A and B are shown apart, each in its own frame.
Chain A
Amino acid sequence: MIFTPQGGLRKGRIDWALFLAALLLLALGTIAIFSSVAVLPGQARIVRVQLIAIPLALIAFGAAWSLNYQVYQDQWKFVYGALLVFLAGVLFLGVVDKGARSWYRLPYFSVQPSEFARVGLILVLANFLDKRIGKIKELQTVLGAFALAVPVFLLLIKQPDFSAILLTFPVVLIMLFASGASLFHLFIILGYAFISALFPILWSIITLTPELLDNTLVSYFFHLSDSWLSASTFMAFVVFGSWLLWRLSVRLYANVSGVYFAGAALVLMLGFFSGILVKNQMKEYQQKRLEVFLSPETDPRGAGYNLLQARIAIGSGGILGRGIFSGTQSRLGFVPERHTDFILAVVGEEMGFWGMLLVTGLYALLMRRIMQGARLARDRFGYLVNCGIFGMFLVYFCINFGMLLGLSPVAGVPLPLVSYGGSNLVATLMALGIAESVYARRYALV
Chain B
Amino acid sequence: MIDRQIPQERLDFLWLLAYAAALVFILRLVNLQVLGGAHYREIAEKNRTQIIAQAAPRGRIFSSDEVALVTSKPSFSLIYFPGQAKTVPEIDRMARALARPLGADYEALRKSIYKAASREKPVRLAENLPPKIMLALSELKAVYPGVDVIVEARRYYPFGAYLSHLVGYIGKMDPREWASRSKDKNYSMDSRLGKAGLEQMYERELKGKDGGIYLEVDSRGKLNRVLESRKWVPGADIFLTIDSKAQAAAEEGLQKSVSGKGAVVALDPRTGAVLAFVSMPDYDPNMFVLSGAEKEGLAAGKILPEFNVALQGSYPPGSIFKIVTAAAVLESGRVRPDEKFHCPGWYDAGSRVFKCWEKKGHGDVAFVEGLSKSCDVYFYNASQRAGALAIERQARAFRLGQISGIQLPGEKPGNVFGPSLRAARKSYWFIGDTLNQAIGQGETLMTPIQAAGEIAAVANGGIFHRPYYVDRVVKSDGQLFYKGEPRTLSRVELKDGTWELIREGLRSVVLEGTGQAAKIAGAEIYGKTGTAQNPQGKDHAWFVAYATVNNEPAKIAVAVLVEHGEHGASAAVPIAKAVIEAALRAELPSGNKRAADPGPPQGPKLPPPAAVPAGVRGIL
* Chain A residues within 8 Å of B, Cβ to Cβ: 1, 3, 39, 133-134, 136, 174, 177-180, 309, 311-319, 328-329, 332-334, 348-349, 352-353, 356-357, 360, 363-364, 367-368, 371, 374-375, 378-380, 383, 387, 390-391, 394, 397-398, 401-402, 405, 407
Contact = CB atoms under 8 A, between A and B. Distances in A.
Given A328-B216, A378-B2, A405-B32, A311 B40 contact: yes
Contacts of A383: 4, 6
Contact of A380 (B4, B30, B219): B4
B10 A317 contact: no
Interface stretch (B20-28, B97-105, B129-137, B499-507): B20-28
Nearest to A363: B22
Given A318-B41, A332-B217, A371 B15 contact: yes
Nearest to A130: B4
A180 B6 contact: yes
B68 to A, nearest CB: 44
Interface string B3-44: 011111011101101110110111011101110111111011
Nearest to B1: A3
A333 B33 contact: no
B48 interface: yes
A3 to B, nearest CB: 5
Contact of A353 (B7, B18, B30, B41): B30
Contacts of B1: 3
B65 interface: no
Contact of B22 (A3, A311, A364, A378): A364
A315 B47 contact: no
A179 B10 CA distance: 9
A296 to B, nearest CB: 13
B5 A332 contact: no
B14 A178 contact: yes
A110 B166 CA distance: 78
A374 B6 CA distance: 12
Contact of A334 (B8, B33, B47): B47
Contacts of A379: 2, 4
Contacts of B306: none
A282 B12 CA distance: 36
A303 to B, nearest CB: 16
Q: Which 5 A-B pairs have the closest CB atoms?
A: A315-B40, A318-B37, A333-B219, A316-B44, A332-B218
B224 interface: yes
Contact of B40 (A39, A312, A402): A312
A111 B220 CA distance: 31
B87 to A, nearest CB: 17
Contacts of B25: 360, 401-402, 405, 407
B21 A394 contact: yes
A179 B33 contact: no
Contacts of A363: 22
Contacts of A364: 18-19, 22
A405 B21 contact: no
B32 A352 contact: no
Contacts of A174: 14
B609 to A, nearest CB: 42
B83 to A, nearest CB: 11
A329 B47 contact: yes
Tell me which of A39, A309, A311, A315 has the highest count of chain B C-beta atoms within 10 A of its own C-beta: A315
Interface string B127-157: 0000000000000000000000000000000
Contact of B15 (A309, A312, A368): A368
A178 B6 CA distance: 8
Contacts of B29: 314, 348, 353, 356-357, 360, 405
A314 B5 contact: no
10 contacts: A314-B40, A315-B39, A316-B41, A317-B33, A318-B40, A328-B44, A332-B218, A333-B220, A334-B47, A348-B32
Contact of A360 (B11, B22, B44): B22
Interface string B214-232: 0011111000100000000
Contacts of B8: 1, 375
A314 B14 contact: no
A416 to B, nearest CB: 15
A177 B10 contact: yes
A353 B32 CA distance: 9
Contacts of A357: 26, 29
A413 B36 CA distance: 26
A380 B24 CA distance: 32
A332 B216 contact: yes
Nearest to A361: B22
Nearest to B217: A332
A312 B217 CA distance: 16
Nearest to B13: A177
A398 B37 CA distance: 23
Contacts of B10: 177-178, 180
A136 B5 contact: yes
A319 B14 contact: no
A311 B32 contact: yes
A390 B8 CA distance: 15
Contacts of B34: 318-319, 353
A308 to B, nearest CB: 9
A329 B41 CA distance: 10
A311 B8 CA distance: 39
A222 B437 CA distance: 90
Given A314-B29, A353-B30, A374-B11, A367 B18 contact: yes
Given A136-B5, A312-B43, A360-B22, A318 B38 contact: yes
B24 A407 contact: yes
Contacts of B17: 394
Given A311-B32, A315-B32, 9 more contacts: A178-B6, A180-B10, A313-B44, A360-B26, A371-B14, A390-B14, A398-B21, A402-B25, A407-B28
A445 to B, nearest CB: 14
Contacts of A316: 37, 40-41, 43-45
Nearest to A311: B32
A39 B218 contact: yes
B526 to A, nearest CB: 75
A179 B41 contact: no
A397 to B, nearest CB: 7
B55 to A, nearest CB: 28
A397 B43 contact: no
A401 B23 CA distance: 12
Nearest to A319: B34
Contacts of A378: 2
Contact of B14 (A309, A329, A394): A394
